[in-house]
Chains A and B, each alone.
Chain A
Amino acid sequence: MRLALTVNGRVRMAETAPARRLADVLREELGLTGTKIGCNAGDCGACTVLLDGAQICACLVSAAQADGRSVVTVEGLAETGALGALQSAFLRHGAAQCGICTPGMLMAASDLLAREPHPGEKAVLDALSGVLCRCTGYRKIVAAVLDVADADGAPAPAVGTAVGARVPKIDGAAKLTGSERFAADAAPADALFLRAVRSPYARARFTLGSFAALHARYPGLARVLTAADIPGSNRFGIYPTGKDQPALAEGEVRFRGEAVLALVGDAATVEAIADEALPVAWEELPPVTGIAAALAPGAPALHAEKPDNLLVTGRLVRGDVEAAIAGAAAVVQGAYRTTFVEHAYIEPEAGYARRIGDRIEIFACTQTPYMDRDELALILGIRPDQVRILPSAVGGGFGGKLDLSLQPLIAVAAWLLRRPVRCVYTRPESMASTTKRHPASIRARIAADAEGRLLAVDFHADFNTGAYASWGPTVASRVPVHASGPYIVPNVRAIARAIYTNETPAGAFRGFGVPQTAVATETLLDELAEKLGIDALELRLNNALRPGLATATGQVLGASVGLVPCLKALKPRWRSARAEAARLNRGDGVVRHGVGFAAMWYGIGNTSISNPSTMRIGLDREGALTLYSGAVDIGQGANTILMQICADALGAPLAGLRLVAGDTDRTADAGKSSASRQTFISGAAVTRAAADLRRQILALAGLGEPAEIRFGGNPVTVRQGGDLRWVDLAALPASNETGDVLAGSGTFDPPTTPLDEDGQGAPYASYAFAAQLAEVAVDLGLGTVKVRRVTAAHDVGRAINPTQVEGQIHGGVAQGLGMALMEEYVPARTENLHDYLIPTIGDVPEIECLLVEAADPLGPYGAKGIGEPALVPTAPAILNAIYHATGVRLRQLPATPDRVRTALLAAGKGECHG
């Protein structure tokens, strides 16, 4: 049909099928990619637009229904070029992290503000309730909508004061106007489409028939890819020894959702071909489901080289645990179970590949461009320098975009067909085929003497790593180090095993097994405190790691150990919250209040493995500075943080700095955006690059440090005391590639040592510390838990950008809350965002952030990391709060209403029906 609609005030025409989703019409026909698609099912609200002034999901409206009506998209909010008041408020408050939900949030808020210019918080929550955000924890979004009227933001920081300032995101404006290019937002016009065909079975053998009939019937089908088409190695994986995952399965599938074929052709054709119509003959086999089944005698082996399904075991032994437990005054123990958790970033995987001569270019969402480059080279059988990775803006990652997803498929297709090929995962496809948080089965014992001094931790965790290795080895190596918590424990035995099953591969997810570990150990510590009659916070305080003390790996910590200040910062709230809970519980109401508490530590960067970052800073003829950063900003704010560090390390104004990010042809390897490492490691690399550039300028000026270098044009002026000199940049030769005349380079690799067979050594150069307090209300009759408030104290070394640090804490707390109370991924059952529940805007409470800055001498301006630490203590704090409220311990996550109610009844605490 010929469609005519008024979009952002202008009449637009499009030729389209009448049943086509409005979201597709806007994006594909009208080029308005500011409207995002996260699910196509009404669940995420990323596609929210105004239709005749009212917010609707553009993925649920047919083109015909929109015909003749008025549509406002995010592109319509800043048509004059300047951000509107609402957008400015979002920028000021840091309400957009990755930005993929932001257009939807803005449109929902616009709808509200048009009807109600001065809404209260409840109205904001109701109006925005249909848009999910996985990054921000919503609080800054709510604050922004409540603060629209307020004046402009703070002025740009003066030279030398960028670090520590609440600088708005440097890429924030693009995220607020819809101009940011996420993975599904750009593709060459002539790109073919690729759709992967996936296994409906968890374990099966299959044979492929001939595709001749298919090609005859569908002329739009350009190629069907099978494993036989992979030019190089059909095995990928994170570790050189763990490359066990095929890009396309070879006669056997090991999990539901594994790709067996890829259809490449025009969009309509690949969509129209039904899976059932393909010549795939399946032989379903009984799957290995769960850890116990995988370890049972006679269980089928997932991989021939691992006959017992044991991928890897991590181990730490210090002292004599058995003897210490035998002699202890108090011992507590418990067994815990957690489930698969889905990253649920709002942006499903997408991207395109194109072949240019003997090189391949891949534009896709990723957290790790350089690893992608090297892996794709192996898969294509070409050299790494023949692969160029152009990371798109990433609509949330949280670890889930560290592994390859669609890149091998589009790369192989584009390589073979010599045509650009694009692919966009559907939400169910993304959920079924990409990695998850490892389900854990944990047994632990903790012992103390009568004074509450910790004597021993005995810890055994089995992690379900799913069908392929992925990051299983990382979990197995990281968990034992963290198993005894941020405490002095003389005797520790910690084992972590990663076990193969026929389930979704478990990979990296914010914390690499440490959040699951903390669920066990931090709730056990609460039990221990109760048993000994010691206040739970005092118990932690008495045992806290401090500067100069040794960890369970025998590493003596340096200066940056901020646990004690974190605990002290929480004390006042700990007291007042418990008093308040006692007051609220005075009646015999059906809602009981409780306060819980948990602490954590987290090693920044890879565990005992080199993980360098290299940063470059260029200066061109006109005196313009560019930071070339290979660190991917996945919403966590690396772009802004690194630019702030760069500005101050150079002594240059932040406003003039340019950024080139991610492109593997133009930046150096900064390593992955994972393990909370980019601020600490890449930030330190930036300071070194800045020092290098300054050195070169000073040499040209014939001066040395300390000196004041004035950037901002040509020439650069250098002043030392009364001595003032000029460096004429125009006189210097420029690099062909960058146009820069000078380039500073800096590399930082955090100093670590390997762990011996008892897990002894210095696995990390820096540790973050934190403690959080959760206040909950439990409905005894229904088993529902409402988190009313979270207070989070975090030692971040130095808050380079306090707004962003708070944003990370809010987002981490929200994910921890989800893990504690509602998130449970079950293959085939919760492959969408209405059966898989993540917290909505109404579920995340007020979060108070208390920032502690125990500067790390190695970190840039003392900074460490915050990405993962933010999530680790939340779930155990909530579980401890539930116990405090009800006297019931939940040892299986998530603590859904039915599990809580069942536990209450079993404990004889829930006999009410009212």
Chain B
Amino acid sequence: MGLYLRPTDLAEALAALAESPMTVLAGGTDFYPARVGRALDDDILDITALASLSGIADAGDHFRIGATTRWSDIIAAELPNWFDGLKLAAREVGGVQIQNAGTIAGNLCNASPAADGVPPLLALDAAVELASRGGKRVLPLASFITGNHRTARAPQELLTAVLVPKPRCKARAGFAKLGARKYLVISIVVAAAVLEVAEGRIAAARIAVGACSPVAQRLRDLEGTLRGRRCAPGLGRTVEAVHLAGLAPIDDIRGTAVYRSDAARTLIARLLDDLAGAAA
């Protein structure tokens, strides 16, 4: 049996992490499934009693989502409509039990290629705040997740918050997930989009796809193509195969690589059509 710390004070938690490497435990929804039939012998730092890590706050030019904010907190929170993509994602993470336990930081730190939280946060241009005894740093989410289940987090760091900048124009956001059953399904493809719209035209587009490469990716070419276009029905037709060329999907039990690319294109096209049809 390993150590088990459950501090209420962040400094205490960071001090413990600085002393020796420990496994961080939040909602446990990735932690426990990885230990089925195995002894629970990790040294554990349980961060769920750190009050300063939970909750969503409007911090002026950005929103701050505490690390241990649960998916059900995100669903229940009153947030501007450009968070709709993240909210839709929250509703699709597991079932209600998982949403009541799983945290946003856990989803990012676990860094599954199919994590549903990542594409909407990439589309929101989110950054993560990492804290250690030595201080804080902020990294764009895109550079935080470095590979399949790999992140830029140093062993003595905690992810303390997700920072979401406010869009400059009116924005709308969407999310789409493809799985082989209705609920409780690991995504075959997952996509999210945020469109900032000014005077009927797209001022900025951010589109991200997950489960089609080791790390979810923004589709910068497509975003460039969309910029300046009228935000009107038919927008989905803009999406072409070349826009997805940077993805590197794999063949696995959930689908072939070819299918993934094809389905990603369809999901994004539909997402754009939906957003173009929606009121800003």
In the complex with contacts A17-B40, A826-B253, A913-B184 CB distance below 8 A: no
Please give me the residue from chain A that is nearest to B265 by CB atom: A913
Question: A802 in the interface, Cβ–Cβ < 8 Å?
Answer: no
* B180→A896 contact, CB < 8 A: yes
The interface bits of chain A over 755-782 (1 if a CB of B lies within 8 angstroms of the residue's CB, else 0) are 0000000000000000000000000011
Once A60-B29, A130-B183, A896-B255 are accepted as A-B contacts, the answer to whether A55 and B4 lie under 8 Å apart by CB is no
Q: Are B183 and A842 in contact (CB under 8 A)?
A: yes
**Is the CB–CB distance between B36 and A41 below 8 Å?**
yes
> Residue B225 at the A interface, CB < 8 A?
no
Looking at A19, A130, A913, the one whose CB has the most chain B CB atoms below 10 A away is: A19
Distance from B159 Cβ to chain A, minimum over Cβ atoms (Å): 19
- A128 smallest CB distance to B (angstroms): 8
Query: Could you say which of A51, A842, A896 contacts B182, with CB atoms under 8 Å apart?
Result: A842
- Chain A residues whose CB sits within 8 angstroms of the CB of B38 once the complex forms: 271
Q: How far is the CA of A841 from the CA of B44 in the complex (A)?
A: 35
A773→B92 CA distance, assembly (Å): 31
From 263 to 278 in chain B, residues with beta carbon under 8 angstroms from any chain A beta carbon are 263, 265-267, 269-270, 273
**Interface segment out of the listed A90-98, A423-431, A700-708, A734-742:** A423-431
What is the bound-complex CA distance between A782 and B263, given in angstroms? 6
Residues of chain B in range 248-263 having any CB-CB distance to chain A below 8 Å: 253-256, 258-259, 262-263
* Binary flags per residue of B229-259, CB closer than 8 Å to A gives 1, else 0: 0000000110100000000000001111011
Q: Report the Cα distance A114→B266, complex, angstroms.
A: 40
The listed residue (A268, A427, A829, A839) touching B253 by CB distance below 8 A is A829
Q: Is the CB of A914 within 8 A of B6?
A: no
* CB-based contact B94/A42 at 8 Å: yes
Cα separation A840 to B96 with both chains bound (whole Å): 13
Task: List chain A residues, Cβ under 8 A from B29.
Answer: 42, 57, 60
Report chain B residues within 8 Å CB of A832: 33, 36
Partner of B236, one of A19, A897, A913: A913
- In the complex, whether A179 has a CB less than 8 A from a CB of chain B is no
- Chain A minimum-CB-distance residue to B72: A54
Contacts A41-B32, A42-B32 known; A897 to B96 CB distance under 8 Å? no
Contact B183 A841 (CB under 8 A): yes
Answer yes or no: A407 CB below 8 A from chain B CBs. Answer: no
Closest residue of chain B to A51, judged by CB? Answer: B100
User: A64 vs B25: C-alpha distance in the bound complex, in angstroms?
Assistant: 11
Interchain CA distance A39-B95 in the complex, whole Å: 15
Q: Does A252 belong to the interface (CB within 8 Å)? A: no
For window 1-59 of A, CB contacts with B under 8 Å fall at 1, 17-21, 39-43, 45, 48, 51, 54-57, 59
The answer to whether A902 touches B37, judged by C-beta atoms less than 8 angstroms apart, is: no
Which A residues lie within 8 Å of B95 (CB)? 45, 108, 129-131
Given the interface pairs A428-B36, A826-B253, the reply to whether A834 lies near B178 with Cβ below 8 Å is no
Chain A residues, CB < 8 A from B6: 18, 64-65
Contact residues in B for A837 (Cβ distance below 8 Å)? 180-181, 185
Query: A813 vs B237: C-alpha distance in the bound complex, in angstroms?
Result: 39
Which residues of B (199-235) have their CB < 8 Å from a CB of A?
none
Contact A840 B182 (CB under 8 A): yes
Contact call B186/A42, Cβ cutoff below 8 A:
no
Q: Does A111 contact B (CB under 8 A)?
A: yes
Cβ contact within 8 Å between A18 and B4:
yes
**Contact yes or no, B32 A21, CB < 8 A:** yes
* B: interface residue count bin: 35 or more
Task: Give the complex CA separation of A778 and B183 in angstroms.
Answer: 18
Q: Evaluate contact between B37 and A429: CB separation under 8 angstroms.
A: yes
Nearest-CB distance from A630 to chain B (Å)? 34
Q: Say if the beta carbon of A161 comes within 8 Å of chain B.
A: no
Q: Is B131 an interface residue (CB 8 A)?
A: no
Flag whether B2 is at the interface (Cβ < 8 A): yes
Contact with B along A811-837 (1 / 0, CB 8 A): 000000000011010100110101101
A20 to B35, CA, bound (A): 11
Contact B255 A17 (CB under 8 A): no
B61 interfacial contact with A, CB 8 Å: no
Residues of chain B within 8 A (CB-CB) of A427 are: 36
Asked if A19 and B2 make an inter-chain contact with CB atoms under 8 angstroms apart, the answer reads yes
Beta-carbon contacts under 8 Å, B161-209 to A: 178, 180-186, 188
> A150 contacts the other chain (Cβ, under 8 Å)?
no
Alpha-carbon gap, A54 to B253, bound state (A): 34
B266 — which chain A residues lie within 8 A by C-beta?
Answer: 781-782, 912-914
Closest chain B CB from A843 CB (angstroms): 5
Residues 23-82 of B contacting A (Cβ, < 8 Å): 25, 27-29, 31-33, 36-42, 44, 46, 48, 72
User: Chain A, 157-171, contact with B by CB distance < 8 Å: what is the 0/1 string?
Assistant: 000000000000000
B1 at the interface (CB under 8 A from A): yes
- Nearest residue (CB) in B for A821 is B180
Closest to B31 in A: A60
In the complex, chain A residues whose CB is within 8 Å of the CB of B2:
19
Complex Cα distance, B42 from A57, in Å, reads: 21
B97 contacts A by Cβ under 8 Å = yes
Q: Does A784 contact B (CB under 8 A)?
A: yes
CA distance A872 to B149 in the complex (A): 42
Known: A18-B6, A428-B36, A897-B255. A56 touches B100 (CB 8 A): yes
Is B97 a contact of A42 with CB atoms below 8 Å?
yes
What are 6 of the A-B contact pairs (CB < 8 Å)? A17-B1, A65-B28, A129-B183, A843-B182, A897-B259, A914-B270
Question: 5 closest pairs, A vs B, by CB?
Answer: A130-B95, A842-B182, A898-B259, A41-B33, A129-B183
Known: A54-B100, A60-B98. 16 other contacts (CB 8 A): A40-B33, A40-B37, A42-B32, A42-B33, A42-B97, A43-B184, A59-B32, A60-B28, A60-B29, A130-B94, A272-B39, A782-B178, A837-B181, A840-B182, A840-B183, A840-B184
